[in-house]
Each structure stands twice: as C-alpha cells, then as structure tokens.
Amino acid sequence: MAIYLGFDLSTQSLTAIAIEVAARRRAVVFERSLNYDADFPAYGTTHGVLPGDVPLVAESSPLMWAEALERMLGIIAAERPFDLSELRAVSGSGQQHGSVYLNGRAAGVLAGLDPAKPLVEQLHGTFTRKASPIWMDSSTAHQCREITKALGGAEAVSRLTGSVATERFTGPQIRKFWEYDPAGYKRTATIHLVSSYGASLLAGRSAPIDPGDGAGMNLMDLAHRSWAPAALRATAPDLADRLPPLADAWTVVGPLHRYWQVRHGLPAARVVAWSGDNPCSLVGVGLATEGEVAISLGTSDTLFGAMAAPRTDPSLMASVFGSPAGGYMALLCFKNGSLARERVRDAAQLDWAGFSRALRETPAGNGGRLMLPWFEAEITPNVLRPRAHRYGGLAEGDGPANVRAVVEAQMLSLAVHSRWMGVAVREIRATGGAAANPEILQVMADVHGAPVRRLKVGNSACLGAALRAYHADELAEGRKLPWSEITAGFVEPEEPAIRPAPGRAALYDAMKQVYAACESHALGTGPDPAAALAAFRKGFGTAG
Ligand code: ADP
Ligand code: XUL
C-alpha cells in the first residue's frame, strides 16, 4: 500500500487530496479545502486577493500560502486519515503565473527550518516583496509592449515562448517590479512561481520550475524547454541568476524537510516538483494524450487539451504550455468565470438553485440576447477596460435572461477561440467548482455540440498533483507506468454523460457568428452587429 498526497494552492483556497494505491484498492482517502478568506481572515483577502485600489492590480500573500500549507499538514497529522508512515510522495499544483520574490537569506532559512517554530514566523524577512502578483493582475500592458518590441513582435514572442507577451504572465510582472522597485529587484535572489515556491517549502530547498508552469512566464523557449536568453534579456537584467532551473515535472526535489517530519510526524516522503493548476488538471482529467478537451469552471474558466507538438494559436489568444506528462498542451483562459456568474446571480437575487432554474426556464439562444461579461479585465479576448456589454435588447434588470447570457457567453467564447486547435471535440471533461451545476454543463454540451462528462473527483488539479506524485515515485523506483495505469480507478467520468439537446447544434453554430460579431464591435474592430442579431433572431428567436 502506498499513499500519495497532492496540494492545490489555487486562487481562493488550498486543497489537499491523498490517494491510496494498493494491489486491490484505489481510493481517495482524504480531501480537504481551506478557504483563504474564511480560514485566514488576518490577511484580509477577498476571493483570495489582497485589498488594494490600484486598477488592474491583483496580489496575494505568499506568507498566507505558507500558513495554509502548514495548517493543512497539521490537520493531516492530527486527524491521521491514513497511515502517515505509508506516505511515499507529495506534489502540488499552483495557480499559474503568480510569483514569489525571495532574498539571499531565504535559502538558509529554508534549509535550517526549526521544527519548534511555526513556518510563517521563520519566513518573515525572507521576501523582497510582501505581496505576490497573481494571474488576475493585468497591470503590465506597458511592460508587455516593451518585451514584444525587444523580441521582434507579437508573433515572434508567441513562437518562442508559446504565448504573446501577456499581462498576467510572470516575465512582464518581473519587468514591472524591476522598473518600479529596482532596489527590491536587486535584493531578490530567487523568483519562484506559486508552484515551485510550494515545493521549496516542503523540501526546504529551492525547487525547480517545470515546463508546464514555466511556459506561463514568457521566459521559456517552448520547443527546447529551456530559459530563452533573449526573453530573459528583454525582461530584466541578470534574470538568469534569479530563476530556478527548469526540470521535468517528475523531478524529485528531495525528501520532505526534517521540519515536517519532526513537527508533524511525517516520513521522509519524496517531494516531487509542482506544476501549474491547468497542467495538473490535464493529468487529473485523464487527458495525458491528444484527442479530447477539458473545461474547468473555476475562478477562471479554462479550456485545455493535450498536443503532441508545440503549435501556437494564429490568432495569438491561446497559450501553449508544456504538459507535465511530456509533450504540450493548449489553453484558453476566460477570466470572467465563476466571479462573473456569482455577480449575475447576486444581481438577480438568486442562489445556485435559482440560477439553475433560470437556465432551465430560458430558451437556448436567449432569443438573441447576448452579453459580453467583461466585468473584470478579460483575457479572451484581451480587454483592459472592463465593462459588461449587452446586445439584442438584453435588459440589465432581466435576471433570468442575464443568467443565460453570462453562461452562453462563457461557453461561446471558449468555443469560438479554440477552433484553431483543430480538435474535433468528441467529448468534454468538466471539472472545477461550477461543474457541480448540471444546468451549466447542459449549456456547455449544447454550445460545443459534444457530450460532457463530469469527473467523480471535482478538483482535477489537486487530484492531478497526487497522481503526478505517484507517477514520479514509480519512476524514481525504476518503473515507468503508462498514464492510463496511473489514472485508472481515480479519473472516473460520471455516467451518464450530459448530451447536447437535439436541434441545438445549428442554433449555436449561428450564435457563434453573432457572438464573434458582438465581440468585434465591442473591441472597436467590427461594425454594429444589429443586422447579424436580427438575422439570428429571425432564424432562432423562439427556439428552446
Ligand atoms: P479555484 O480552484 O479557481 O479557486 P474552484 O474550482 O474551487 O475555484 O471553484 C470555485 C467556484 O465554484 C466558486 O467561486 C463558485 O462560484 C463556484 N460554484 C460552486 N458551486 C456552484 C454551483 N452549484 N453552481 C455554480 N457555481 C458554483
Ligand atoms: C491560466 C490562468 C488561470 C490560473 C488560475 O493561464 O491564468 O487559469 O492558472 O487558475
């Protein structure tokens, strides 16, 4: 029997999942989440973000993440949901792009962590920047322009790094830090991602960055999976000295530091490199090979799928990352995901059951009433002046119609902007908090024209991290198990699938054109979509 533990340091919470792998039994033996806002009120976060009023800035606290990790391991040590001595390996998933800035003292502090004192107490004084910029930050448009210029244009950046210079990506964030606080940058010895920071805390030493999360920085040469010297030069001086090395996601960083062994009675389990939440989700939904796509409805909505070779999006909207299973993955991120749904739900004075009822009671296609739910700065497409746009006579006060409009828009955007991947979507695997809602998944099935299957374990990023720990531990023992064997018994799509309702395919194909027209209009690149809307209403106005 062996136990593997996965963490997910996500936007709003820290989750841990432990899996048991035995000859005749495979089971999730522990699953727990700590919510930053509710469980760590001292940091004052809202939805995991620190208070602040600078537009487009979003930051969180690396100390809070460390405290959450320690509290979770304390819970496991106290509750003993499994035989602690059987814990073989630990890995993790982190919200992508966020960065942690450590000074020259940090390495010594991490190596010499004292089991008599809480972790956060010892980490005080090791940061050159108290707050970490996270993926929701879009304050670096200026730095993106500088980097793009230095690297010879958007297409060149995309070809080299897998994505155009992108506001939330770590490179532009690092450049902004260097520009605004050159002394702070100078004092910075190491810049970690949320993922490599988590692994470093567990191993008590600086952990590498994997090509899955590394590709979310605009700093990695995608094809070669190494730091791209030109991108580093375009970002900040002497950056190579400040980045951890890149290493495969199955790298063993070291054993759990003595701190965790003495303080929480854990064994010297292997700490496996962490990766980003989307790359980990790819494993956790069982899509380690090319073919299907997954949609995660978390704080952001993402659509992703595996790719054998590193192709990039000609429209420059999607990102390509390394897959933690080897190979590559494409990702689209629609930022106005769960928080936009919550906003519309609250405006209509509904709970989730009422939200679902509104979806059931409104017609597919919404009678041609559309919304571009850009309540916050958006990523797909890039929108830095947030504003929700309403078309086709959608009244702000019409609660149910707005509920349908927000969900249809989210699904339409992912469908329209993922066409370049050329994947004939046979099946969608749905994950993330809002995948608990079958009515939302029905819209997903209808818009994409494909059956949707939810996974039994809802947090695929966290499950993926636990599965990666298992995979890497086996490799370290000299056994290379196929991914299908790693995920068997854990990645179980629920039956039956949610199927597209008859007759919806034509409606949503037409609606994709209308959505694209509204998008161009709102971005100022296309004409008024009134004619397209009228034609759509004529054809499908009363469908449902
Ligand atoms: P993240 O990992 O990005 O922090 P999660 O995947 O845990 O986010 O998703 C959390 C979100 O799930 C919440 O913000 C909430 O809006 C959403 N959610 C939870 N239950 C439902 C439901 N029944 N219907 C729709 N959304 C839901
Ligand atoms: C992906 C992205 C988000 C974060 C947080 O590029 O920014 O999905 O990983 O989940």
Query: Beta strand pairing status for 87-94 and 270-272?
Result: parallel
| CA–CA separation, 208 and 193 (whole Å) | 10
pLDDT in the model for residue 543: 42
Q: Which helix (H) or strand (E) holds 227?
A: strand 226-227
Q: Which helix (H) or strand (E) holds 333?
A: strand 328-334
Query: Which residues are CB-neighbours of 7 under 8 A, at least 6 positions away?
Result: 14, 15, 16, 69, 72, 90, 91, 92, 93, 198, 274, 462, 465
Ligand 2 within 6 A of CB of 168: yes
Query: Which residues are CB-neighbours of 47 under 8 A, at least 6 positions away?
Result: 11, 12, 37, 299, 339
Measured CA angle at 342 (ends 338, 345), to 5 deg: 140
| CA–CA separation, 402 and 384 (whole Å) | 22
Q: Whose CA is nearest to atom 7 of ligand 2?
A: 135
Contact between 285 and 460 under an 8 Å Cβ cutoff? The reply is yes
Token pair for 89: 């390996």
Ligand 1 within 6 A of CB of 462: no
- Measured in Å, residue 248 CA sits from the centre of ligand 2 at 20
- Measured in Å, residue 431 CA sits from the centre of ligand 1 at 10
Best mutation site among 9, 11, 338 for ligand 1, i.e. most ligand atoms within 8 A of its Cβ? 338
What is the maximal distance between C-alpha atoms in the chain? Answer: 72
| CA–CA separation, 257 and 203 (whole Å) | 5
Query: Whose CA is closest to 322, among 246, 221, 212?
Result: 212
Q: Token match 């450590």: residue?
A: 102
Contact between 255 and 207 under an 8 Å Cβ cutoff? The reply is no
Token pair for 46: 């809202």
Ligand 2 within 6 A of CB of 251: no
Burial of 46 (0-12, 13-18, 19+ CB in 10 A): exposed
pLDDT in the model for residue 289: 67
254 φ, ψ (degrees, to nearest 5): 155, -175
Query: In whole angstroms, how large is the CA radius of gyration of the chain?
Result: 23
- Measured in Å, residue 441 CA sits from the centre of ligand 1 at 13
From the first residue on, what is the mean pLDDT of each consecutive set of 10 residues in the chain (544 residues)? 97 98 95 98 98 95 98 98 98 98 98 98 97 97 98 97 97 98 98 98 98 98 97 98 98 98 98 97 85 89 91 91 92 96 98 98 96 96 95 97 98 95 88 95 97 90 98 98 94 92 94 97 96 92 52
What ranges in 19-61 are assigned the alpha helix state H?
36-39
CA-CA distances (angstroms) from residue 390 to 343, 444, 532?
A: 15, 21, 15
The alpha carbon dihedral of 190, 233, 11, 89 has a sign of: negative
Q: Which atom of ligand 2 is nearest to the CA of 278?
A: 9
Burial of 200 (0-12, 13-18, 19+ CB in 10 A): buried
Token pair for 98: 């966020």
Ligand 2 within 6 A of CB of 93: no
Ligand 2 within 6 A of CB of 95: yes
Q: Which atom of ligand 2 is nearest to the CA of 299?
A: 10
Best mutation site among 9, 17, 95, 299 for ligand 1, i.e. most ligand atoms within 8 A of its Cβ? 299
Q: Which atom of ligand 2 is nearest to the CA of 300?
A: 8
Neighbours of 90 (CB within 10 A): 31
Ligand 2 within 6 A of CB of 13: no
| CA–CA separation, 525 and 138 (whole Å) | 22
Query: Whose CA is closest to 453, among 312, 277, 295, 249?
Result: 295
Ligand 1 within 6 A of CB of 342: yes
| Ligand in nearest proximity to the CA of 297 | 1
Query: Whose CA is closest to 30, among 473, 351, 463?
Result: 463
Task: Name the CA dihedral angle for 129, 130, 132, 138, rounded to a multiple of 10 degrees.
Answer: -80
pLDDT in the model for residue 410: 98
- Measured in Å, residue 298 CA sits from the centre of ligand 1 at 5
Burial of 23 (0-12, 13-18, 19+ CB in 10 A): exposed
Q: Whose CA is nearest to atom 9 of ligand 2?
A: 96
Q: Percentage helix, strand, coil, to 5, in the chain?
A: 40, 20, 35
- Measured in Å, residue 338 CA sits from the centre of ligand 1 at 6
| Ligand in nearest proximity to the CA of 217 | 2
CA-CA distances (angstroms) from residue 256 to 29, 123, 499?
A: 20, 17, 45
Ligand 1 within 6 A of CB of 432: yes
Token pair for 345: 């739900």
Region of residue 511 (left: phi > 0; alpha: psi -120 to 50; beta: else): alpha
Query: Whose CA is closest to 161, among 215, 213, 80?
Result: 215
Contact between 340 and 406 under an 8 Å Cβ cutoff? The reply is yes
Helix or strand or coil: residue 519?
helix
- Measured in Å, residue 11 CA sits from the centre of ligand 2 at 9
